[in-house]
Amino acid sequence: MSSVLEFPQGFLWGTATASFQIEGGIEERGRCIWDDFCRWPGKVFEGHTGDVADDHYHLYRDDVALMAELGMKAYRFSISWPRILPEGKGEVNTKGLDFYNRLVDTLLEHEIIPFVTLYHWDLPSALQRLGGWAARDTAYRYADYAGVVVKSLGDRVHHWITHNEPWVVAFAGNLFGAHAPGWEDLPLALQVAHHLLLSHGLAIPILRDGSRGAHIGITLNLSPVHPATSKVEDVAAAERQDGFFNRWFLEPVFKGRYPEDMWAIYGYQVPRIAPEDMRIIQRPIDFLGVNYYTRAVIQHSPSKFLDLEQIYPEGEYTAMHWEVYPQGLTELLLRLTKDYAPQALYITENGCACEDELTPDGQVHDSKRVAYLRAHFAAAHQAITQGAPLKGYFVWSLMDNFEWAFGYSRRFGIVYVDYSSLKRYPKDSAKFYASVIAQNAVKS
Ligand code: IFM
């Protein structure tokens, strides 16, 4: 039997994007590590780059108008650090700041609340040459950068996200070599993770000072971890994966310590930490941003990293080969509520890649994405009814964009982008989402 699930009044529905993935406008900014990574042969699908992307840098007004047509209440976007500080520090590119000022003003004209992410992976190349996030100094340069941005936007932007998915930055970029800067070194990755967390803590008072009544949070990519069987070694392997993926970031931010089990497992490879660091990292935040896509099913597997391996049970999978598992979202939100008592939660990303096709009459019938979103909205609703302080939901993504190592070969948007003409076409999922927003409810 179908039912109508109503969301709390004022629930913030929106979409999310990130600077490197949509902006283009490379001539008007400094270089970042992803510009370099795209030019490293074999690292990014067919050598795709972010040089033009969706050309949002020039088309932002149309994109905001489209969001308004769809009824969006909020928009999460990130700032390109090298657009503000081409060398990562020092001289400010005022044209870069002007762009974000115009974007914020346009959003506000359409009554769309801006949620600003300060770092979504585009570290200035100039700072990478000085050691990147492995260098402690980068955390202080990030704090300076946060100061420049908040001074310019802080009178109109009141929702700030310090980092997007530090796990991906640290481990995909420095342990698995799949993302920029492309290294494969565990101690380095752990040091990077620590400096990202430190920079998060350093930025908090700067954002509070510069933006009256600011709501400040961090976005983590989180997944429930399930053991493949109830065997003791699989259960223990799942616990390690949880420590590696979820708790390594949750515990410092909420409890001011790294998880003891993982600290012991990493042994001599643990990061160097200054005495005051954990106190800085644990500074109170106003919300946790949750990026949820799927769960992980884990089995014990000696000879693999952490003696574990992810397995892929039968089920439905997206074009990323990620299992469709909406009930994991309810499980995750309730666990976060119970274990960490965040003041508020936002789903800062959720969505799926599908093999979308544009029909000759300009339609995209992405019924799989509609089903995916419907099921995840219902799962979020379920968590709210059980006490999770969920205040909003940002679908990833507003429009198709540069999907990192996959280049433009994966489409996550609810709006289709024809990369040859840069024309935008709302997919069926955009129309579906607009109706959910208009009713503040979803039929399950
Ligand atoms: O495209 C990414 C985004 O930049 C970060 N979170 C996951 C998305 C899909 O892979």
Instruction: Give tens-digit pLDDT for 346-388.
Output: 999 999 999 999 999 999 999 999 999 999 999 999 999 999 9
Instruction: Give tens-digit pLDDT for 97-117.
Output: 999 999 999 999 999 999 999
Residue 41 CB coordination number (10 Å): 6
396 lines ligand 1 (CB under 6 A): yes
The pLDDT assigned to 329 comes to 99
The pLDDT assigned to 187 comes to 98
Nearest atom in ligand 1 to 403's CA: 1
Q: Which DSSP helix (H) or strand (E) runs through 430?
A: helix 428-439
Distance 195 CA to ligand 1 centre (A): 21
Band (pLDDT 50/70/90 cuts) for residue 44 is: very high
pLDDT at 1 > cutoff 80? no
Distances (CA, A) of 430 to 15, 348, 363, 397, 435: 10, 17, 11, 10, 9
**Dihedral, CA of residue 153, residue 155, residue 158 and residue 161, to nearest 10:** 30
User: Is residue 349 annotated as a catalytic residue, yes or no?
Assistant: yes
Span 151-175, mean pLDDT?
98
Cα gap 251→259, rounded to integer Å? 6
Distance 401 CA to ligand 1 centre (A): 10
* Domain assignments of the chain as residue spans, ordered by start: 4-443
Distance 47 CA to ligand 1 centre (A): 19
User: Tokens standing for 208?
Assistant: 């509070």
219 lines ligand 1 (CB under 6 A): no
Which one, of 58, 36, 59, 61, lies nearest residue 49 by Cα?
36
Q: Candidates 3.30.70.520, 3.20.20.80, 3.30.1360.30, 3.40.120.10; correct CATH number of 4-443?
A: 3.20.20.80
Span 170-181, mean pLDDT?
98
Span 71-90, mean pLDDT?
98
Instruction: Give tens-digit pLDDT for 205-229.
Output: 999 999 999 999 999 999 999 999 9
Q: Please identify which of the residues 251, 331, 349, 403 carries the catalytic annotation.
A: 349
400 lines ligand 1 (CB under 6 A): no
Instruction: Write out the E strands in 106-221.
Output: 113-117, 159-164, 215-221
Burial of residue 202 (number of CB atoms within 10 Å: 0-12, 13-18, 19+): buried
The pLDDT assigned to 421 comes to 98
SS3 152: helix
Mean pLDDT (the chain, rounded) = 98
pLDDT at 2 > cutoff 90? no
Please tell me the pTM assigned to this model. 0.99
Distance 403 CA to ligand 1 centre (A): 7
Cα gap 134→195, rounded to integer Å? 7
**Stated length of the chain:** 444
Instruction: Give tens-digit pLDDT for 294-339.
Output: 999 999 999 999 999 999 999 999 999 999 999 999 999 999 999 9
C-beta of residue 345 within 8 angstroms of C-beta of residue 285: no
pLDDT at 407 > cutoff 90? yes
